[in-house]
Every structure is written in structure tokens, then in C-alpha cells.
């Protein structure tokens, strides 16, 4: 397995797509039920294969990731050959990016001396999608890129 198996909730949300996946392998509902009952290891392999297909599709379409912590934000722009990163760090007591008021203060005061920005670019060390998946496993979420692009313009 390349990534991780989808959760039960994710499989339920994708039940139509999973049925189409099975149909593409000429497996109908009756046969699928028999496989689950009589050959659970084969059923598990099918679930894993479908999970990898879904993850690859999602990761191929991913362009930006964000990871927030109390006092920092990591923003990633994931391109074909490399990944760009912007880090925002706040050196201010009683501040949390998880607090709406503090986040708004940051947006309104990006030139404040307590805010430090870093940026960099690196080539992928392994497969692009594997590195994106690793960042997601570590808490990053897929984003629309508005924050990344806005901060990129600000600090460039």
C-alpha cells in the first residue's frame, strides 16, 4: 500500500466511486459480498488499491498545503518538481493563530516587529505525492493558496 487505507467514513462517502471501481474489475455486488465473506484478505487488498487510487487523485490535484500551530504557520506550494515554503513565526506572548482575534491581528499587522517570515524552495527528495501525503499525515491540510500567494507577494 502506497498511502493509507481510507476511513470507513471516507469509503461511505465514496461508495458510488468504489462500486464503479469494482465494476471496472468486473466485480458485482454479489461477488463483492462473497469476497468479503470468504476471502477477507482479497477484500482488504481491493480496499487498499482503491484507497491508493483515491489518494493519488487527490494528491495529483493538490497545489497548496497549510499547517497552523499556536505561534507559526507553514504554507506550502507544491509544484511538479519542487516545493516552496513560507513560514510565519510570531514572537508575542498570549498569541495563538487558533484564536480568531489573534489571527485577525496578524492579518492587520503583517509588518509588526514580532512577526518573522522565512521562505525557501527545495526539490523533492522522493516521490512528489509521497512527500505531500507525509505533510498531510503530519497535520497539514489542503488549501486554496490564497494565504500563501498573499504572503508571497507581501514578502517578495
Strands (E), 55-129: 64-68, 72-78, 82-90, 115-123
Tell me what pLDDT residue 156 has.
Answer: 86
The answer to whether 35 touches 27, Cβ cutoff 8 Å, is yes
- The pTM for the full model equals 0.88
pLDDT band at 81 (very low <50, low <70, confident <90, very high): very high
Per-residue pLDDT tens over the stretch 6-38: 999 999 999 999 999 999 999 999 999 999 999
For residue 86, count CB atoms less than 10 angstroms from its CB and return exposed for 0-12, middle for 13-18, buried for 19 or more: buried
Domain boundaries, the chain: 8-61, 64-155
What mean pLDDT comes out for the span 71-87? 97
Q: Is the pLDDT of residue 89 over 90?
A: yes
Q: Residue 91: which of 66, 113, 120 has the closest Cα?
A: 113
What mean pLDDT comes out for the span 115-121? 97
Amino acid at each position: 500500500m502506497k498511502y493509507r487505507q481510507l476511513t470507513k467514513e471516507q469509503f461511505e462517502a465514496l461508495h458510488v466511486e468504489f462500486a464503479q471501481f469494482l465494476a471496472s474489475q468486473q466485480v458485482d455486488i454479489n461477488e463483492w459480498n462473497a469476497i468479503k465473506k470468504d476471502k477477507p484478505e482479497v477484500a482488504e487488498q481491493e480496499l487498499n488499491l482503491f484507497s491508493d487510487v483515491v489518494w493519488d487523485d487527490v494528491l495529483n490535484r493538490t497545489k497548496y498545503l497549510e499547517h497552523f500551530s499556536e505561534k507559526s504557520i507553514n504554507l506550502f506550494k507544491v509544484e511538479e518538481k519542487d516545493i516552496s515554503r513560507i513560514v510565519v513565526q510570531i514572537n508575542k506572548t498570549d498569541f495563538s493563530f487558533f484564536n480568531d482575534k489573534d489571527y485577525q491581528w496578524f492579518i492587520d499587522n503583517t509588518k509588526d516587529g514580532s512577526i518573522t517570515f522565512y521562505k525557501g524552495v527545495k526539490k523533492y527528495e522522493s516521490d512528489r505525492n509521497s512527500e505531500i501525503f507525509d505533510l498531510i499525515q503530519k497535520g497539514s491540510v489542503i488549501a486554496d493558496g490564497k494565504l500563501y500567494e498573499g504572503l508571497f507577494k507581501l514578502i517578495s
